[in-house]
Amino acid sequence: MARYGGPNGETTGSKFGQGEVNVRTRRGGGFRFGFGFATAVLVAGVVGAASPVVAAAPDPAAPVPATPVPAAPDPATPVASAPVPPADPLVVAQSITGEAVMRHLEQFQAIADAHGGSRALGTPGYALTAQYIEQQLQGAGYTTKRDEFEVVSQEILKYAVTVDGITSAPAMGVPFGATVGTGPDGVDGTIVRPVDLAGEGCRASDWAGVDAVGEIALVTLGACSFLEKSMAAATAGADALIVANTADVGLAGEFSEQDALTIPTIGVSGTQAAALTATAGTVLGITIVERTTRIPTFNVLAETSTGHRTNTVMAGAHLDSVPAGAGINDNGSGSAALLETALVLAKSGELNNQMRFAWWGAEEVGLVGSINYVGELLQNDPSELEHMVGYLNFDMVGSPNHIMGVYDANQSSYAAPLVVPPGSLRIEKLFTDYFDSIGQPWVDTPFDGRSDYFGFLLTGVPSGGLFTGADGIKTPAEAALFGGTAGLPHDPNYHTAGDRLANVDPAVLDVAARAIGFVTTTLAIDDPAIDGSATDGSAIAGPAIVGPVANGPAVNGPAINGVAPGN
């Protein structure tokens, strides 16, 4: 799970200062899928033993009856093949086990151990984990595809500001993401402003009559893009640009990519801007030393051959770790659970809706893989998004001091920072109904933009999924429901070298993986699309769930200890 998430492009995103790394993506062309898998039919054996039957000895004098010889089949008569039954969500849930998911995680850990302890972006550990997943999928009959893209990473090596020769400590403002640098000697000049009424400096004409050559331009946040502001100031001859927020909070802007036609650009708060312009002739010095690198990487994709292509259900989990460790819970757990679901589903019967699986790259540096994927579809093949009836996200599903979090589509506990499409309520209800049926407690978890559902929600795709906790602190109420220790993080080893195999709770992983299999299969065999007119999640019922149903409030049932879904 990413510590910060958000869209690429020009944003007012998280703070970006000296020593921090900012990433973006360069998008390639769109693509279409043509994948398939082999369907296996399971034949049940006969179980049990019969009592022996003793036959009378044959009369040796009796004639032996002739054995009738069946007639040869007519080669012109077609032989009808038995129809393949549809996949059964309960059977899939019963077939997925935490033990099988843990075996995948053992492979992830071994790969990390043999390659510097990490599975992060651009490492052999990431590439080999992806190769393992591809081999497993191909062995089950899937065709896999690598969705390649490039991550642009920028590191600010030095950032300093002086005001009338006095060093600002800490340095005033924040360098924009993807800004060009000043060089080690920096730039300095008198602060100048554009002549347009709002002071936004969007066009070259806004600088008419202003001697900005070699000076520091200051503009306010406004309707035009940051790129337009920086290019206009550069055209006027300014050496650097300050963009002031209209509110008394800092401004951390970002360009979509580094552009040679821009100038070094920083953001400041409204109060800081007022102080800089209170006295005429203020001289400002800015130094930005940055390093930009480009890292090629990829997502792993696979989809089923059965199911309507105009009704696609997508499920994803990010595959990369942070550089500090192997990332076995974050997010080996989600990746391995999704892999096992795909493997079991491949031999479980026909589907009504096409299933597409994704293992995302570069999530830990800003949700880059999933946002790049959605951006490619939006730009090159928007019909693919129109046909996508739902997206399921699984990020950290084996946390040691866990909760069992279901994304809060109906916003009963947490207001979402963006519009949640109505079909998301159906996804939430499938998970919560399943957990209620097995007596498993659950709680709402917010759509807070920190994982790969973000790009799908932005484009109107109904979304949902599971999350068992990261750096959030377990409350006494959660400890009463799920066990564990209140006052400690849900995953004390989040984003550290301690996120190894021993960091994953196998019992939690077992419950979550079975739920993933159940809901994924339910949506894959649905007749209508899940993003219909229903807004309460009740219009389209899922399959009957056999088991004890826990009644009561939103959080029900006993703790996970020993509860195995489907048993």
- 99 tagged catalytic: no
Token pair belonging to 399: 């946390």
Are 511 and 97 a contacting pair, CB within 8 Å? no
- Phi and psi (nearest 5°) for 206? -70, -15
Gap between the Cα atoms of 520 and 514, Å rounded: 10
Gap between the Cα atoms of 247 and 271, Å rounded: 8
Gap between the Cα atoms of 16 and 13, Å rounded: 8
Gap between the Cα atoms of 376 and 372, Å rounded: 6
Gap between the Cα atoms of 426 and 193, Å rounded: 53
Token pair belonging to 275: 């102080």
Strands (E), 386-426: 388-394, 405-407
Are 511 and 560 a contacting pair, CB within 8 Å? yes
> Which residue matches tokens 């790259």?
361
Instruction: Report cis status (omega within 30 of 0) of the bond before 400.
Output: no
Gap between the Cα atoms of 333 and 469, Å rounded: 12
Max distance between CA atoms of the chain, in angstroms, equals 129
Q: Which of 363, 364, 376, 428 is catalytic?
A: 363
Q: What residues contact residue 45 under an 8 Å CB cut-off, 6+ apart?
A: none
Alpha helices in 318-362 (DSSP H): 334-345
Which uninterrupted H or E stretch holds 464? strand 463-467
Exposure class string for 502-516: b at 16+ Cβ within 10 A, else e = ebbbebbbbbbbbbb
Q: Tell me the three state secondary structure of residue 227.
A: helix
- Phi and psi (nearest 5°) for 178? 70, 15
Are 463 and 410 a contacting pair, CB within 8 Å? no
Token pair belonging to 22: 């900012």
Q: Tell me the three state secondary structure of residue 440.
A: coil
How far is the first Cα of the chain from the last one, in angstroms, to the nearest whole number? Answer: 31
Instruction: Report cis status (omega within 30 of 0) of the bond before 331.
Output: yes
Are 188 and 283 a contacting pair, CB within 8 Å? yes
Gap between the Cα atoms of 494 and 375, Å rounded: 29
Active-site residues, by number, are: 363
